[in-house]
Amino acid sequence: MQTRTQSAIEAGANVLVGYLVALASQLLVFPLFGIHIPFSSNLAIGAWFTAISLVRSYVLRRWFNGLRFRTAPTKSNPTR
């Protein structure tokens, strides 16, 4: 099982890569829909979504790790 710190590091790396992909996507896709905004606005939009994604990834990772820990068989209860 991962520690909270390991979960945060993994989520951070995942979100950093996601941010770069999202930024590149915004720069390519927005103009196709007639959305023309300054680069600084693209950075800000990406930053907001990145912050949200980081929290979401961390919470989900901890939740799933908790589920796995609670449902894992134990020596005292091997059927669990």
* Domain extents in the chain: 4-71
> Over 60: is that where the pLDDT of 19 sits?
yes
Confirm if 69 and 18 have CB atoms less than 8 A apart: no
Per-residue pLDDT at 44:
94
For residue range 30-69, what is the model confidence (pLDDT) as tens digits? 999 999 999 999 999 988 888 888 788 788 878 888 887 6
pTM above 0.85, yes or no: no
Per-residue pLDDT at 22:
87
Plot region of 66 (φ>0 → left; ψ -120 to 50 → alpha; else → beta): alpha
> Over 90: is that where the pLDDT of 23 sits?
yes
